[in-house]
Structure 1
Amino acid sequence: MPQFDPRRSSFHLAPRLFVAVAGIAALGVGLSLRHAAPSKPLAAQPASPVAVAALQAQAFAQSSAPAGFSAPVETPVTVRSGETLQAAVLRTGVAPDEARQVVTELGKAFDTIHIKAGLAFQAAVAGPLDRRGPLRLVGLSLRASPVKSVTLARSFDGSLRLRELEEKVRDETTVAKGQMNGSLYESAEAAGATPTLTAEVAKLFSRKLDFSRDIQPGDEFKLVFDRKVTESGRTVEAGELLYAEIGAKGQVTRFYRFKEPGAAQPEFFDETGKNIKGFLLKTPVDGARVTSGFGMRMHPILGYTRMHQGIDFGVPTGTPVYAAGDGVVEEARWAGGYGRWMKLKHTGGWETAYGHLSGWVVRAGQHVHQGQVIAYSGSTGESTGPHLHYEVMNAGRKIDPKSAKVPAGTILAGRDLAAFRAEKAHVDQLLAGAPQNAASRNLADAGTILLR
């Protein structure tokens, strides 16, 4: 195994970390470390971002390189696909027995067997002064989970000491807002939303907006959602989306989440209590841009003008395609120039069709629900590149999906409307700037440092 020589690098970890620890101590944030039996925690203190940094700094700074070894040097390691944690530790240059010991110690703090590729850690290693033999691990630090940090440090007697720190986690309702700068995904992520949450927002507004044409840079958005968040502000898990708002085309579109009594699932309603779940989606794919509209056009392959009886959405191959409405799969077959083709039959004489697919998820005769993934986009048939061809038909006549006047959703009334207005008032209060702590529900208080 190739080994790296610490003396070839001028970066010495310990002196810099001693300075960092001294700075933290000067601020009164130093951690208390006391000896005790390995099976019992030696200290328990609230975990804060500064405490996390202090824990790592002390773990390395208080570690000792064995006699006859050089000063420790830091090396970053990332677990590769199909690689065990022990194999990753071996890549630091330590001996197999030492790598096995390191993983055994780490196993006291978290599951070291079922790890995922991409797990990263920092290891401080020291090389023998005579450049013979393997390196020795002096310290190691990693984040075992979104809320837990773990370090190992070698003591003066050669033993490894394990330290664990868990940050406090709280459940809260939060407001994320910002302006469109790039895609909705990029803008919402910058405001604190997760990709999963943003995907729900995109699907929600696909009923009302064309993201490729209606959204402009500078358009504003607001989201209200539940989340689990650490002390340092990292979102551990995003919960339910409660409200979504986008200002575009000179008007603001607002959606409120509400579960009707007796309903199986919550739905989204506009300000008046009207269910926004229209009969059909205007855009059955996320993040799409219109590359060809409904009407006469020059066919890009055939080379002459003819009617284009649908809309083309430019999306990468493999993009999920959603059922535009509840219905039954009428066709799932090869259809000449349309390539892999699917047609859904809805109520009231309505049908939707999807062309140039790379694959199907459902089969003919199967019932589907609006928003369900039914296929994946592709470039099969007569196609110049990856895209989705989408058609809407009523009573056998093909119509423009963007201007199709499809049936509207239900409207709340009576007690249901009163209950909806009460939940709407709560969300409006948050949007108006109610104190964040009034909206937060602190359910967990698990911030501790465990020193073995």
Structure 2
Amino acid sequence: MYRTSDSEQDSGGGTAVLRPRGAVPPRAAEFGRRVEEKVARLELVVDLGARIGSREWWRGLATCTALCASAIAFWPHLPLLTPAAPAAMSTAEWQEVRAIGVAPLALGADTGRRLAATAAVRPLLDTPERPTIDLTATLGRGDGFVRVLERSGVAAGEAEAVAAMVAQAVPLAEIAPGTRLDVTLGQRADRGQARPLEALAFRARIDLKLGVTRVDGRLRLVRTPIAIDATPLRIRGRVGSGLYMAARAAGAPAKAVEAYLRALGSRLSIGRDVHPNDRFDIIVERTRAATGEVQLGKLLYAGLDQARGRVQLLEWTIDGRRQWYAASGVGERRGLMRQPVIGRISSGFGWRRHPVLGFSRLHKGMDFAAPYGSPIVAAADGVVRFAGWHGGHGKYVSIQHGGGLGTGYGHMSRIVVPAGANVAQGQLIGYVGSTGLSTGPHLHYEVYRGGAAINPATVSFVTTSQLAGAELARFRSVLAGLMAVGEAGPVRTAAGDLRPGA
């Protein structure tokens, strides 16, 4: 091969090619173009939001991860610098900053609402008190009138004096819980003393308002009567689906309806004898004040109009005991005899082998096993016919009840009622013992009807009483007065509206 100055010449049987000096051979030029095209197509910054999953995307993700790892690896570790805590501000400094600072009102700032103190402001040695203080106190259930005044700021001695003055007008126990007391306290001469009471006002009853005022340095009680109307409220209506719900829907108080059902229950069965078309008739106490307050009281009359007749009951008191009497003046009370002692039944009524005598005979009562000395009470109202030793019964008490019924109580350790005494149901008559033919402490309880022993477990009796003479006339007069309620004026029906009385 030969080379000239500016060209190359190949020999050896081939064709000589002459190229300019500095020219690139064809193959090298093609290789260079390919490298340049690949470099041009290489993207160092790849959009990771496009062509997800392609080769370029994975290369860009690897590049991003490598750069982040390099930054974290070469992150400088500098020590944490703790700033010094500012000194706490005094109260005066805080008030000044609060007054002149600009901050949102929602964060509790007072921007523009107050000014900081200037040199012209001088602190007071003593803050002046309000000349009077008006407050309200409420008498709670089980609370005391004096304690309420003392909690309101009244001195103990003055509270006692006020309570004594109020008790002259109305007993303190009759002031209803929830009564509001309006109290006015005056100015005191010394901060170490309680404020004096200037005025007190409250509603003692629906017909009376009481007040205590200070006149010429002394407290005086002021009574303010309130006019009231004591006309009873009569409520009538149809029983419908339920007697209780119908009466409550008509406006009868819950306690009055409960008393009404108990009164009817002494004469008939509510579930069996009361029908949807029957009409109830209820009269309750009602007091209306001139100031607008209304107070409902107890049940006065219980009536039920049925297709087969009319039930009219009026509560009446005889010998200190209240019960419901019919319009004819006949009173009636139904009920089971009360268990005379707390214990278990150890032996029932009937034939058995006597534990002491050893042979069979009729056990005319029921034995209750109870600890020695347990109290024994009368099973029903009656008169003590016998009280003393009674053969095998030991210490024994016999009580005669109405309707030919009688009860006996044997084997007592002690008797506490004499013969001829009147006893009420549940009254103590003696204590459990083991006197007479007995093998241990228990009560032998007997029931007699017409002098013959019957099973005590089957006894259900009715006691009745009849009004007569002047008492019956007074009873009928009161009943006639109640029946006139609603006849000339409005009466409330079960639907809750008002209509003229029937």
Flag the structure with larger Rg.
2
> What range is the shorter-chain TM-score in?
0.3 to 0.5
TM-score, normalization: structure 2? Answer: 0.39
Higher relative contact order (CA 8 A, sep 6+): 1
